[in-house]
Chains A and B, each alone.
Chain A
Amino acid sequence: MIKKFLIHVCIFLIPVIIGYAIVENYSRNLPLTPKIKSEFYKNNIQDIEVLVLGASQNRDAINPEFLSHKALNLAYPDQDYYVSSKLLEQVGPTLPLLKTVIIPISYGHFETAPNQKDTWKNSMYRHYFGTTVSDKFTYFKDNFLYISFPDYYSVKINEQKKGLLHLDCNEYGYNRNIEKALFYTFDYDSLTISKQPVHITPTIPHPEYIIENIQKLEDILAFCGQQKYRVILLETPTTTRFKEHRIPEVLRRKDSILTMIRSTYNVHYVDANSANDYMLKDHRDHNHLSPQGAEKFTKRLNTILEELE
């Protein structure tokens, strides 16, 4: 009886397994930026000298094609210091020429919740870079992409099928497509943009997040010290309106953390946010650069890196 039951269950599950295998395969072959970056990483593992970590601000601000040294940009939306430290610890040692690590110190980065709940990123990094960015026990199920974030991959599969997955990536995986950028949707019309509210997050301070984020940043800096990597703490450009809306208390906290870090660790601080020559078209939205802005910014960053050599 039990055998019959198990056989029936297995027969019932066959279409489910086949269906899932098809979707999983499709997800793995989607031309998404992490896939392109992983190909760049595999093909240039011996030559990469610069590693960019952090969240979407760094992802959009640094286009490695404008750096004189080969750079891998592993910044990703909502990526906190915890994930960045995991990436650094695992990817860093695989890069024999790695000299410079770029880490964000932007407004609010210390205040946001450490996003360890984003377990799907663990699957993404395991698949594309062979790294584990979660402290939780991981096993073969964490290799599956689709099941890690069905909503995201379903949308991407649909876009791909309908020909709407408009990525315009260079070999470094930098996406030059700005169709979905907020300012682009307003046709870069300054009047319309000025009428839009500026969303500044977070609004409520969480001391526990700040403590945890500082701890993780210090882990990164300690690791960089051990490996003798040069550290660039980077603040990317934002719009004037964004700067006006920042909460003074959050700014003060960030500045005091920065002072503490600079006095304790051997780091270089690049404050690109005080520059006033970034035009509206240089931004995707209030705190992200457009490809045009990224070119301008990355060239300047390159000069700084050259000077540090």
Chain B
Amino acid sequence: MLFNSFDFGLFLPIVFILYWIVGRKRIQGQNAILLIASYFFYGVWDWRFLLLIIASSLVDFYAGKYISKAKTQQKRRLWLYSSLSWNLGVLFVFKYYNFFLENLKTLFELPENTFTTLDIIIPVGLSFYTFQTIGYTIDVYRKKIEPTQDILKFLCFVSFFPQLVAGPIERASKLLPQFSRERSFTYDKAKDGLRQLLWGLFKKIVVADNIGVAVFAIYNHPEEYGSLTIIYGAFLFLFQLYADFSGYSDIAIGTAKLFGFDLSTNFKLPYLANSVTGFWRRWHITLSKWFQDYVYVPLARGKALGFFSKSSRKAISLLITMGLIGLWHGANWTYLAFGLLHGVLIVIEGTTMTSKGKKMKLHQWLETGVFWSKFYTVTFLVVSLIFFRASTLDKAVIMLKEIVTQNIAFYNFDLIIGRKIGFLVIMIIAEVWRKRYTHPFMNLEGILPKVVRWGIYYFLIFAIIRYGRPQEAFIYFQF
């Protein structure tokens, strides 16, 4: 079920009322309602996906249990590897198997029918919930958390519908205890949740989907546009991606608040970062933190790369981590290129330099706010996102070539989406103006009178209804 659908508009109030009125007296009752609702929410896509998520949940629930019960380190490791094999195996089969075979065939010039590719679709949100459960098992193994003995809570933790299909990727240490805590209804929290949800819907339906029309037109036929028009398209994609994904996160976090839950912040105005390193501290924060804790740190500090010097080890670990972050988005060389490009820049930004007699890393110097640091960051993001958006590496290169070689810069230029571009401006102004808060409508009471606040909400609802397009899935659902 999509957040931006009429179905969700019916589903949410029904679950909300059942949760707070029918299930209010018992935590288990509330959890049971959440679990049924989450499985319904997910099963609407395809009920077969449910079998996979239930299987993954059970594997990790029991893996966690047996890891904590195991008396020897060897057994603990065995259970950890069993869990990892299942999770990564599922991910590989559904997401990377066909890509792997296709490339194997190309590499060794094997005949077309050497391997049979699988005719399967990737279950929605697979990468998100798989990472969440992997995180749980590793944390139990590292003794950072105690495994839960309550299977209902664990199933809820894996399938909690607001963040099930596109994050934020929550840590067990943060989300799991919330299913054990007594949850009582708080007016202010619910109100704040609704406002964040509304803001998220605006970003997704009005800003992202409408910008997407122009992006689609330009990316599909770059040869029909002048170089500046293509750059305009690439910039628009930058904002489409942000509005789409951060819009999803806002809806997820807002919805969770309605049920008394707190989810992690996933975005902190990433395009205002002064360096690529800084960008990854603000963009899809829960994913970059996940990779930092479970991939980068073990690689950089572990024995696997022990034969390299400390600085080389760090650089290689970074490149591997960023390559994997790229590939996490999908089985395509374009994503790998995107990740590696970022990795290279982060490695460069990690080099030490001297400024005004002080030794500091390049990204620290950039983050002091030198005037061109934002320009540098955004320019790099625009270029790297061309790889992210293009369907193949060749197409990304064509796009870049068109930018350089087109003679008439503004050939065939128009805004394509006309006045709707104004919504992007509204989004940027609102988010920058209220950058101290998790969403622009937070704590507005002290600043704007009720009539103005309601006017703004009505305007957003009007825009959502008026400028809503036939339902478009969230970009990150495919990952």
Contacts and interface: CB of A to CB of B under 8 A. Distances in A.
A294 to B, nearest CB: 30
A246 B255 CA distance: 52
Contacts of A147: 6, 465, 468
B465 A15 contact: no
Nearest to B17: A6
Contact of B190 (A5, A16, A150): A5
Interface in B138-167: none
A118 interface: yes
A16 B454 CA distance: 12
Given A1-B185, A2-B20, A141-B6, A16 B470 contact: no
Nearest to A144: B6
A2 B467 CA distance: 32
A150 B6 contact: no
Contact of A1 (B187, B457, B461, B470): B187
B227 to A, nearest CB: 22
Contacts of B10: 141
Interface in B436-479: 454, 457-458, 461-462, 465-471
A165 to B, nearest CB: 19
Contact of A16 (B21, B461, B467, B469): B461
A12 B187 contact: no
Contacts of B470: 117-120, 149
Interface string A1-20: 11011100100100110011
Main secondary structure of the interface of A (DSSP, over half): helix
Nearest to A20: B465
A232 B191 CA distance: 60
A303 interface: no
A139 to B, nearest CB: 9
A149 to B, nearest CB: 7
Contacts of A150: 465-468
A2 B21 contact: yes
A141 B194 CA distance: 22
Interface in B157-199: 185-187, 190-191, 194
Nearest to A4: B187
Contacts of A307: none
A154 interface: yes
A151 interface: yes
Contacts of A118: 470
Contacts of A19: 462
Contacts, number: 40
A12 B6 CA distance: 18
Contact of A151 (B6, B7, B190, B469): B469
B6 A5 contact: no
A12 B10 CA distance: 17
Interface residues of B, number: 25
Nearest to B6: A141
A3 to B, nearest CB: 9
Main secondary structure of the interface of B (DSSP, over half): helix
A112 B387 CA distance: 28
A16 B185 CA distance: 26
A262 B457 CA distance: 59
Contacts of B461: 16
Contacts of A2: 20-21, 24, 185
A147 B10 CA distance: 15
Nearest to B457: A12
B419 to A, nearest CB: 13
Given A117-B470, A118-B470, A149-B470, A5 B191 contact: yes
Contacts of B6: 141, 147
Given A2-B185, A5-B191, A141-B6, A16 B458 contact: yes
A15 B466 CA distance: 15
Nearest to B462: A19
A108 B24 CA distance: 59
A14 to B, nearest CB: 11
Contacts of A12: 454, 457
Nearest to B185: A2
Given A1-B187, A2-B21, A150-B465, A9 B458 contact: no
Contacts of B471: 119
Most chain A CB inside 10 Å of its own CB: which residue of B6, B10, B24: B6
Interface in B12-45: 17, 20-21, 24
B20 to A, nearest CB: 5
Contacts of B7: 141
Most chain A CB inside 10 Å of its own CB: which residue of B186, B190, B469: B190
A140 B454 CA distance: 29
A4 B185 CA distance: 11
Nearest to A16: B461
Contacts of A117: 470
B287 to A, nearest CB: 30
Interface in A1-53: 1-2, 4-6, 9, 12, 15-16, 19-20
Nearest to B24: A2
Contacts of B191: 5
A19 B185 CA distance: 31
A138 to B, nearest CB: 11
B185 A5 contact: yes
A154 B462 CA distance: 12
Contacts of B187: 1, 4-5
A151 B468 CA distance: 8
B451 to A, nearest CB: 13
Contacts of A120: 470
Nearest to B258: A5
A1 B21 CA distance: 11
A141 B471 CA distance: 14
Contacts of A4: 187
A141 B6 CA distance: 7
Nearest to A119: B470
A149 B21 CA distance: 36
Contacts of B457: 12
Interface string A118-143: 11100000000000000000000100
Interface of A: 1-2, 4-6, 9, 12, 15-16, 19-20, 117-120, 141, 147, 149-151, 154
30 contacts: A1-B185, A1-B186, A2-B21, A2-B185, A4-B187, A5-B190, A5-B191, A6-B17, A9-B194, A12-B457, A15-B458, A16-B458, A16-B461, A19-B462, A20-B465, A119-B470, A119-B471, A120-B470, A141-B6, A141-B7, A141-B10, A147-B465, A147-B468, A149-B470, A150-B465, A150-B466, A150-B467, A151-B467, A151-B469, A154-B466
Given A5-B185, A6-B17, A19-B462, 7 more contacts: A2-B21, A15-B458, A20-B465, A118-B470, A119-B471, A141-B7, A149-B470
- Per CB-CB distance, the 10 closest pairs between chain A and chain B, nearest first, are A141-B6, A2-B185, A2-B20, A150-B466, A1-B187, A1-B185, A5-B187, A5-B190, A16-B461, A150-B468
